[in-house]
Amino acid sequence: MHFKTRAIHVGNEKCAATGAVVRPLHLAATYVQPGAGEWGEFDYSRSGNPTRAALESTLASLEAGCGALAFASGMAAIHCAMGLLKAGDHVLAGSDIYGGTYRLLHKISSRAGIQVTLVDTTDLASVEAAITPATRLLWIESPGNPRLTITDIGACAEVAHRHDALLGVDSTFATPVLTRPLELGADLVMHSATKYIGGHSDLVGGALVVRDPSLWDELYFVQNATGGIMGPWEAFLCSRGLKTLAVRVCEQSRTALELATWLSSHDRVARVHYPGLPDHPGHDIARRQMEGGPFGAMLSFELRGEFAEAKRFVEATHLFQLAVSLGAVESLIEQPASMSHASYDAADRKKHGIADGLIRLSVGLEAYEDLQQDLEGAFGVL
């Protein structure tokens, strides 16, 4: 079956009891067992829930994995992945990553004796040079957040595996519609399901998908032990969101490309970061990894100005609502330096190219003409 068909049918089989075309929502916390010490398919909803299991089945199919795990948030999913590591292990992460991931690695994982290094993963020589004998996990984002850098997933997988490390990919921006990292050699892929998978700004969730059953077993053990699971209502909404994922992402991506093209010629814009533009440094890799396009609905651009000008700009739009998060039907705007990436140490923001004048857009399903006029109006306040 094709992607769009699987998104609707895999994990969404009709209800066996009633024939309902939408699977029922299972809210039970516990389940009657066949006997003492005899375990049924489900026993306690932290360990497994029918609604969550249905969503996990769909996600595994869409990412070409052997199994998936759904979490209470994207950060809970990443925390579970970091739970594979022990004191003395080293995680090598990209420098263009979500601020919450930076905070987890530098402020939480480091407390457990896990070593952390950030590197520009678009430079394979730098990745190779930064790996140590203790490196157990290479963690990347492609496209990156917030600079939309493109990392060669297959090449990073080769480097990681040659050094007996795992490759994990935060693919939230790309979604499985545009990129499927497991097919390119990654060991695990993470999604903040809050974003495109849910798609409507009405849930918080996360997911991990893997291609090796033994790795799934390890991650399931950590998830069950720590308890950061997705609730059944959120799982139900995610399953519904997946049914329209491909249609939403492709339409949003078309508008994002139009906006990126327009912004790239604007006299108040110093630089546009969007992999669909031919002059983007990672355009050729993006074409390969994203099957020739579309290239996603996220873009960022740098104003000809500094922190104060960017702050005025993001506060002046109307259709682009000033908020963190992304990937929903409504368009959002934010200033990474003061919002999504404020958790970065200031020196690291500067070191890794997160400029004070950088603005990030999440393009929704509104008409291009209306969004373009909204941004043009914000340029008028500068």
Q: Which residue is catalytic, options 23, 96, 98, 196?
A: 98
227 and 253 in a common domain? no
Overall number of domains in the chain: 2
Task: Examine the residue annotation and report whether 170 is marked as an active-site residue of this protein.
Answer: yes
Task: Looking at the structure, tell me whether residues 210 and 77 fall in a common domain.
Answer: yes
Cα distances from 223 to residues 35, 46, 56, 109, in angstroms, run: 26, 9, 14, 16
At 155, the pLDDT band (50, 70, 90 cuts) reads very high
Residues 286 and 188 both lie in one domain: no
* pLDDT surpasses 90 at 79: yes
What's the token pair of residue 48?
């497994």
Tell me which of 242, 268, 295 is where a domain ends: 242
Residue 220 sits in the same domain as residue 309: no
**Same domain flag for 154 and 191:** yes
Q: What is residue 239's predicted lDDT score, i.e. its pLDDT? A: 98
In the predicted model, is pLDDT for residue 68 greater than 90? yes
* Tokens 């457990």, located at residue: 112
Q: CA-CA distance, 115 to 132, in Å (whole number)? A: 10
Average pLDDT over residues 283-306: 96
Q: Judging by DSSP bridges, how do beta strands 67-71 and 206-210 pair with one another?
A: antiparallel
Sheet holding 115-119, edge to edge: 67-71, 206-210, 188-192, 166-170, 135-141, 90-94, 115-119
Mean pLDDT of the chain: 97
Q: What is the pLDDT of residue 92?
A: 98
* pLDDT higher at 213 or 39: 213
216 and 251, same domain (yes or no): no
3-state SS, residue 287: helix
Q: Is the pLDDT of residue 78 over 90?
A: yes
What is the gyration radius of the CA atoms in the chain, in angstroms?
21
Whether 299 and 180 share a structural domain: no
Helix axes 74-82, 213-226, angle to 10 degrees: 110
* Residue 368, pLDDT score: 98
Please confirm, yes or no, whether 195 is among the known catalytic residues.
Answer: yes
Q: With contact defined as beta carbons under 8 Å apart, do 112 and 89 qualify?
A: no
- Active site residue: 170, 196, 248, 274, which one? 170
Q: Residues 6 or more apart from 31 whose CB is under 8 A from it?
A: 40, 42, 43, 44
Catalytic residue among 52, 180, 195, 211: 195
The domain that contains 271 carries what CATH number? 3.90.1150.10
Residue 110 has pLDDT above 90, yes or no: yes
Active site residue 98: yes
pLDDT of residue 120: 97
216 and 250 housed in the same domain: no
Considering the domain architecture, whether residues 144 and 262 belong to the same structural domain is answered as no
The whole-angstrom separation of Cα 218 and Cα 67 is: 12
Do 204 and 191 belong together in one domain?
Answer: yes
Q: Which of 226, 242, 258 is the last residue of a domain?
A: 242
Last residue of some domain: 213, 242, 271? 242
Kindly report the CATH number assigned to the domain that includes residue 208: 3.40.640.10
| Pair type for strands 269-273 and 298-303 | antiparallel
> Does 221 share its domain with 308?
no
Q: 252 and 123, same structural domain?
A: no
Average pLDDT over residues 271-277: 98
Q: Per the residue annotation, which of 4, 6, 31, 46 is the catalytic one?
A: 46
Residue 214: domain span: 3-242
d(CA 50, CA 173): 28
Side chain identity, residue 364:
G
- For residues 287-300, average pLDDT: 96
Cα-based torsion angle of the residue sequence 55, 57, 63, 68 in order, rounded to the nearest 10 degrees: 80
